[in-house]
Structure 1
Amino acid sequence: MKRRPLVWVFKFFFASSSLPFVWMSLSGLVQAGLAAVSLLLLRDLVDGRGQSSSTLVWLSVGYLLSALVLPNAINILIQMFREAVVRRSQQDLTWKLMQKSARIRMDRLEDSNYQDVVSAVTKADSSVMINYWQCVQEVILSVLRIVSVGAVLTSFYWGIPLVVFASVLPELWMRLRFAKLQHRMHLDQSAVERRATYFAELLTNRESLKELRTSAVEKFLFGKWWAQKDSYDRKDLAFDRKRQSYFGAGHLLFLTAITISMYFMVKWVMGGQTSVGALTSAIFALNTIMGSMGSLLYNVGQVQHQQLLVETTIGFLQDTDVEQPDMSDLQDVEAPFDIRFEGVSFKYPDSDSYALQDVTFTISHGERLALVGANGSGKSTLIRLLLGLSRPTAGCIYVNGVPLDNCSLAKYREHVTVAFQDFAQYHRTVRENIGFGHLPSLPVQPLLEQAAEQSGAAEFISRLPQGYDQQLGAAYHNGVDLSGGQWQKTAMARAYLRPATLLVMDEPTASLDPLAEVEVYRQFSELAEGKTALLVSHRLGSATLADRILVLKQGKLVEVGNHQGLLRESGEYAKLFTSQAQWYRQDEEQGGVQDEHRVADVHL
């Protein structure tokens, strides 16, 4: 056993629940010592014909206490202490895991291999740790019981304990080997298990079921789930059959050694070479050794397997590849600030191609920029880099001339507000859904209402039964569902609530109706006054709001300029804009509904 995880687990439990943890550990040691004491008392009791009646009574009482009463009472105490340790330590472990998960770099979290680790670790709880500790303790206690009880067998012949101990070595080696193989197999199977879990979630999630039923693909997905689950179970069962066959052969060797030992012991008693009390004690000793050997073998394998799980958890908690390490020399970011991308390139993990390549531009304070380009051109990647959610693979991002890596991201983000295209839907109250944008403003009702007005959410909030205190999410008691557009307006209110210098809007109108979209752009224009604003949109008409337009194509910045200037250049922007304009005009010529939004989208 490696010392590192054992010491880490000891310190973890001692820090979180010292008293019950110490009593749980000491109780096990007392229990182990009682086994040898009970055998000695049993031998004297059986051979005690010449003893006084009071001595025999005390021997009987002592044997019952050491063999039955005290071990069972200690078992109850150990379970009570264990429950106390688990309850007190679970919160500490969960807190550590959440803290670390919140700091790991986004690029790392999106790595498929690392996701297998995250999946295993996030399922961990303190019972994994306590099971590991108790298995280690049980290995030690089993060895103590075997050694102390084995001393009783030396009253027959010193070679008997050696034969018994030697017979268990093959099974011990096999259990250690299979523990490593089992852990490796579970890691290999993690991807299969995640896919099976995903299909199961699709088939039980209320939102996805609406589309699945109308598309009649439930049976297809069930087949996919069954295939993944069947593959997992087949490998698991095959491994288990192989393991049990090896364990069975090893255990058969151990039982053979016990049987041979019993044969010789009975033969020696019949020949008068030892007493009946010693034989009785030896029989119980062999029974105890068999139980202790079984416990030793089982727990050695469990320690090996659980130690690997514990090491994975410790490795995750001690991972230094965090978003921003603790550094005393990080510089605070003060507003106003300019931002410069200098030769920035970025490549996602496990990808051979660059999502962004050699991008250089400057965002000056108070400037309004629009970021446009076809799907997959690198717009979302650029936003991630701008927000510090990912680090450039090459190049550097500067804030007022200071590399972003040298700036405090926490201070930097205090000056940034963002509405994401793939916004979060918090199944909490409306108040919290908006207030999460700026927690200090959460209890200030006028600020929440102002943000809701600016985003267009105030209208539907006023119709909710409990207004700003309405629980969202139909899965919860008295919860209500919102439409896609209502969720988006709520997310935008969250962004508007935050008093920031840099306003980033990533496809802010994807789920809105035409009139609401026009209103959003009007509000955005007003809110951007005196701030730096970056608008990402497929609606190229909205780009006319910007002072400058950045055009991305296949990860490269191909054009920079204003709307009229880029149209005159007849480049990528003109091509995209003209394509959208022709679609709108063609639709109108074919007798489509005259949509105010479409006209506004082209001629903003």
Structure 2
Amino acid sequence: MSNDDEPAPLDPIELRLQAKAGRRSAGRLGSLVHKSTRLMWQAGPRKSIVLTCIQVINAALLAAQVVVVERLVSVVIDLSSGATMRDLLLPLVAFAVLTAITTVIGSVQTQIGRLLAESVARLMWRSVSGVAAAVTLRHFEAPDFYDLLQRVQSNATRPFQVTQALLRILGGLTATVGVGAVLFAIHPILVPLLAVGGLPLILTNRAESRLEFKFAVDQTTNQRERAYLTFLLTGRVEAKEIRAFDLGGQFADRLDRRHDEYITAMHAHVRHRLRLNLVGNLLSAILLSCTMIIVAWFIADGQIDVSQASAAIVAIRMLQGQLQTLLGGVQTIFESGLFLDDVELFLRLGAEAERDEDGAQPPSEFETITVDNLGFRYPGSTQHALRNVNMHIRSGSLVALVGENGSGKTTLAKILAGLYDCEEGAVRWDGVDTREFSRKAIRSRVAVIFQDFARYAFTARENIATGDGAHPINDDRVVAAARSAGADGFLSRLPKQYHTILSRLFRGGRDLSGGQWQRVAIARAYYRDAPLVILDEPTASLDARAEHDLFASLRAVLKGRTAIFVSHRFSTVRTADLIVVLHAGQIVESGSHDELMARGGRYAELFRLQAAAYLADVDEN
């Protein structure tokens, strides 16, 4: 069997998703609860203490209300046998005060909860975005990673929901104990009867939680597709092409189909949940009715008086509500715990990324970069993007990577930039495998700009200074980099010069042409004082004169730094010290322009084809 026919190695994200499918132990759930509580405490310790105290106070007030109701009913009954309205005043005032305090406390609890929720969400988003920025690019080649990221983004507030549920459980338990004690004093048998009434809800709530998680997992891809189609229909960059090709209706119809599929699945899901909920509540209501019948029998049998019966009815209703709160909290924890498995899994990717990227500090400079029998495949692919690649780069040299589309030029550039690790072979700096170095430190010594560079809706100075985001902005370096890239002229003419926002998304912003944006991106690479500069199609949006000027000044601008540039325009690479020709993921030729032309191989063929096309245009004119 050839290497191309070998099955692709299973992506690590897929392995982790499969491995976690069966892990739903109580210990695992307890760990998630512990971490969620710790997260809430980190987000706002004072607010956490206040909310906890409020839950306990509220529970105590509920128990006090039952006692007051019993006293109130007793006084009302005694009005006909000597009690006065003055005797009624105290329990009435007490009941009113307790009710008002309970209402106020509930409002305070809601508002503090909102503040704490935002703080928890902020911490959670900071963790999620940190992991997303830290994991290797290989993860972004795997669809399962995007599914996982989508679910994590949709459930970033789950830790707060878990801690809120814990507080509800705490309040429910406290209230249950307090109200239950009052009920037990009225008649001991009433408490276990009510406890039995909660069993159906425990079972059905657990089943509902499993259903909710399964539905969310099943619909993740659909949700991602709907988000993507919405982005296409509302994006500024996509707006031109959507109108030019009249794609709005087509994309909207496609979005409607995805919505229809989602709503159809949701209908089935909701029906299933409602059936479970109906069964649980119906059984619980039947058991509660039985309890009420027993209370009536106790009254008829003389075991309790009317005031105690009234208090018992109020206590039963309160206790049922607290049991519902308690069970609802348990359901939230279990349901959120399932989602938090995803969050925990995603955050572990950040820890793994730190371990993967750990290593010794590389030298600040290098004499040679050696690519030794390098091989690379993208996740899920059976084909090598690069195979048996060998090359030697001297410090201070200009190296050009050329070849037809799909030949592996950009992939090789990404590996040299430290964005990917090779699967086979090695990339060595002065003989040391770069995988022994810290990946972050390696990337800090490389300035790389790709053809699909980012256009940040920031000021011009900030756009350029992103080339070295680890240090404060140096305005002198910003201007020097812009001048070297030929961007100073048009940036200086902007309304606020380098402080102008380069986007029309925000008030006062200005947009640039494609060529101007490319010069800003090149300035970004120049701003980063790195010994290795990688430029992927750096002149794709430049006119012929600007392209000529850029390459004519490249050596002077780089000041002895090593440069690797990817280009499909053979006229721009003639002055390179080394031209590397790639085809189907392999290096087929390398040498200077004169050497390769004299050899008469693929480079010479492609160079003559492009030259002939230019000459034909000249002859026609």
* Residue deviations 1:406-425 (CA, integer Å, cap 9, x gap): 22334333432222111110
- Partner of 2:392, secondary structure, is strand
Contact 1:36 1:148 in 2 (8 A): yes
One-letter code aligned to 2:292: M
**331-340 vs 553-562, greater mean Cα deviation:** 331-340
Change (3 A) 1:51 1:99: farther
Question: Relative to structure 1, is the Cα distance of residues 479 and 161 closer, same or farther in structure 2, using a 3 angstrom cutoff?
Answer: same
Moved more, 137-146 or 7-16: 137-146
2:120 aligned with 1:120, yes or no?
no
Alignment partner, residue 287 of structure 1? 317
1:338 is matched with which residue?
368
Counterpart of 2:374 in 1: which secondary structure?
Answer: strand
CA deviation map 1:521-550 (0-9, x unaligned):
112243245221111001012221211111
TM-score, scaled to structure 1: 0.91
TM superposition score normalised by structure 2: 0.88
Deviations 1:273-313 (A, max 9, x none): 32001110111122113322332333322222212233322
Alignment correspondent of 1:75: 106
> Which of residues 45, 68, 79 in structure 2 aligns to 1:18?
45
1:502 aligns to 2:532 (yes or no): yes
Q: How far 1:211 moved relative to its partner? A: 1.3
- Note the C-alpha offset of 1:58: 4.1
Contact 1:431–1:448 at 8 Å: present in 2 too? yes
Instruction: Choose from 127, 131, 145 the match for 1:96.
Output: 127
Shift of 1:235: 0.9
Matched-pair contact (CA < 8 Å) for 1:436–1:442: no
Match of 1:303 among 325, 333, 357: 333
- Does the 8 A contact of 2:358 with 2:437 survive in 1? no
2-structure distance, mates of 1:346, 1:151? 69
| Residues in 1 aligned to 2:173 and 2:148: alpha-carbon distance in whole angstroms | 34
In 1: Cα distance, 2:329 partner to 2:365 partner: 59
On the 8 A contact 1:103/1:322 being kept in 2, the answer is no
- 1:272 counterpart residue number: 302
Distance in 1 between residues matched to 2:448 and 2:303, nearest whole Å? 89
Q: Deviations over 1:28-56 (max 9, x none)?
A: 12212322232123223323438976775
In structure 1, the partner of 2:616 is: 586
Determine if contact 2:39/2:159 at 8 Å carries over to the other structure.
no
- CA shift for structure 1 position 86: 3.1
Partner of 1:35: 62
| Residue pair 1:330, 1:407 contacting (<8 A) in 2 also | yes
3-state SS of the aligned residue for 2:219?
helix
| Greater mean alpha carbon deviation, residues 413-422 or residues 234-243 | 413-422
How do 1:189-588 residues align onto structure 2 when only pairs under 5 Å count? 189-320=219-350, 322-325=352-355, 330-438=360-468, 444-588=474-618
Q: Deviations over 1:350-393 (max 9, x none)?
A: 22222112222221112221111111111111111111111112
Alpha-carbon shift at residue 11 of structure 1 (Å): 1.9
1:441–1:197: structure 2 CA closer, same or farther, 3 Å change rule? Answer: closer
* CA distance 1:329–1:464, shift in 2 (3 Å): closer
Alpha-carbon distance in structure 2 between the residues aligned to 1:249 and 1:412: 61
Moved more, 99-108 or 443-452: 443-452
Q: Deviations over 1:78-136 (max 9, x none)?
A: 234323423444443333333222211111133211112222323454x4322211112
Q: Match of 1:574, SS? A: helix
The alpha-carbon deviation at position 475 of structure 1 amounts to 1.2
Question: Cα deviation per residue 1:155-184 (whole Å; 9 max; x = unaligned)?
Answer: 676444434332432332122122122112
Contact 2:548 2:572 in 1 (8 A): no
Which amino acid is the alignment partner of residue 101 of structure 2? Answer: L
Number of corresponding residues: 589
Deviates more, 1:511-520 or 1:331-340: 331-340
Tell me the equivalent position of 1:7: 34
In terms of mean alpha carbon deviation, does 50-59 or 521-530 score higher? 50-59
Pair 261,410 (structure 1): closer, same or farther in 2 beyond 3 Å: closer
Q: Quick one: distance in 2 between partners of 1:456 and 1:441?
A: 24
1:214 shift after superposition:
1.6
The superposition leaves residues 131-154 of structure 1 with CA deviations (integer Å, 9 ceiling, x where unpaired) of 211112213432443344344444
Q: AA paired with 2:381?
A: S
Shift of 1:473: 0.7
1:235 counterpart SS class? helix
**Partners of 1:208 and 1:410 in 2: CA distance:** 33
Q: 1:461 to 1:152 in 2, by over 3 A?
A: same
Query: In structure 2, how many angstroms separate the alpha carbons of the residues matched to 1:249 and 1:124?
Result: 28
Looking at structure 1, the residues matched to 357 and 528 of structure 2 have their Cα atoms a distance apart, in angstroms, of 27
In 1: Cα distance, 2:587 partner to 2:530 partner:
27
Q: Which residue matches 1:108?
A: 139
Match of 2:179 in 1: 149
What do residues 481-528 of structure 1 show as CA deviations (whole Å, max 9, x unaligned)? 111111111111111222222121110011111221111211224324
Pairwise CA RMSD of aligned residues? 2.5
Question: For the residues of structure 1 that align with 2:590 and 2:493, how far apart are their CA atoms?
Answer: 44
* C-alpha contact 2:37 2:159 (8 A) present in aligned 1: no
C-alpha distance in 1, partners of 2:359/2:442? 15
Structure 1: stretches of 5+ with no match in the other structure: 593-604
Hey, what's the Cα distance between the residues in 2 that align with 1:140 and 1:534? 62
Matched residue SS, 2:349: coil
Structure 1 CA distance for aligned equivalents of residues 53 and 406 of structure 2: 61
Q: In structure 2, do the counterparts of structure 1 residues 213 and 347 end up closer, same or farther at CA, with 3 Å as the change threshold?
A: same
Q: Is the 8 A contact 2:398 2:576 kept in 1?
A: yes
Amino acid at match of 1:102: A
SS in 2 for 1:121: helix
- Specify the code of the residue in structure 2 equivalent to 1:105: T
For residue 30 of structure 2, what is the amino acid of its counterpart?
A: R
C-alpha separation in 2, matches of 1:20 and 1:31: 16
Cα distance change on mapping 1:323 and 1:379 into 2, 3 Å: farther
Structure 2 counterpart of 1:176: 206
| SS class of match (2:112) | helix
Residues 318-352 of structure 1: CA deviation (Å, up to 9, x unaligned): 32565443888613322133211222211112222
CA 139–565 in structure 1, closer or farther in 2 if over 3 Å, else same: same
Residue range with higher mean Cα deviation, 170-179 or 507-516: 170-179
Deviation at 1:477, TM superposition (A): 0.2
Unmatched runs of 5 consecutive residues or more in structure 2: 1-25
Report the CA distance between 1:441 and its aligned residue.
Answer: 8.5
SS in 2 for 1:319: helix
Q: Distance in 1 between matches of 2:152 and 2:578?
A: 46
